[in-house]
Homo-oligomer: A and B are copies of this chain.
Amino acid sequence: MARRADHSKEELASLVVNTAEELIAEEGIDAFSARSLSRAIGYTAGTLYHHFKDLDDIVTQVNTRTLVGLARAFADGTPSDDPRQMLHNYADAFLGYITLKRNLWNALFEFRRKPDQPVPPWYVEAIASLIRIIAQCFADIRPDLDDKAAHQSGQLVFASIHSVVSLDSSGRLNLIMDRDIGKVVHELVDMHILAYTHRTK
């Protein structure tokens, strides 16, 4: 059997990415493989390689969706006029999203791409846009400081919180502490706000 007409090229491509997303979300990245994916969509493993360069390619597309989803979660966060409160709201949005999509988030950072493979530029851009949103809050807290300071604080708070949340998400935070990740995150946000507030011009 060959050359079936079950799906058009586009249909099959989105079927693959959709199913990959479901599989990773439910079973985790460790249980994900070319064979399990192809079994799930009713095709052979070889077929995947006619529509995608390799498994990296497929996982990258899933990861991109995860990042886009995070951006949407940020946008859907509770609005507030107080930039300090808004930072906490973003933190909640972040935490909520990752809690909901634990396995997908872990896939985003645990997946080992081949050494030479460069990070796709929209990865970087997706993260940069989140950081700009955060930096704006800092800029609102101290309008007398320049944009660079706000941007650096945005990067720092994103890196801090992302790291700690990932540590928790991969089940390793309890190696270090027995506290609730929610409390820790908000404590970190308060610390960054405090430090920024106390900055000298």
Interface residues of A (CB under 8 A from B): 30, 109-110, 112, 115, 119, 123-124, 127, 131, 152, 155-156, 158-160, 162-164, 166-167, 172-173, 175-177, 179, 184, 187-188, 190-192, 194-195, 198
Contacts and interface: CB of A to CB of B under 8 A. Distances in A.
B159 A164 contact: yes
Query: Chain A's interface: helix, strand, loop or mixed, by majority?
Result: helix
A115 B194 CA distance: 39
Nearest to A115: B30
A194 B198 contact: yes
A127 B158 contact: no
B127 A175 contact: yes
Given A152-B179, A195-B195, A159 B187 contact: no
Nearest to A158: B176
A166 B110 CA distance: 12
Contacts of A160: 160, 163-164, 188
Contact of A195 (B155, B177, B194): B194
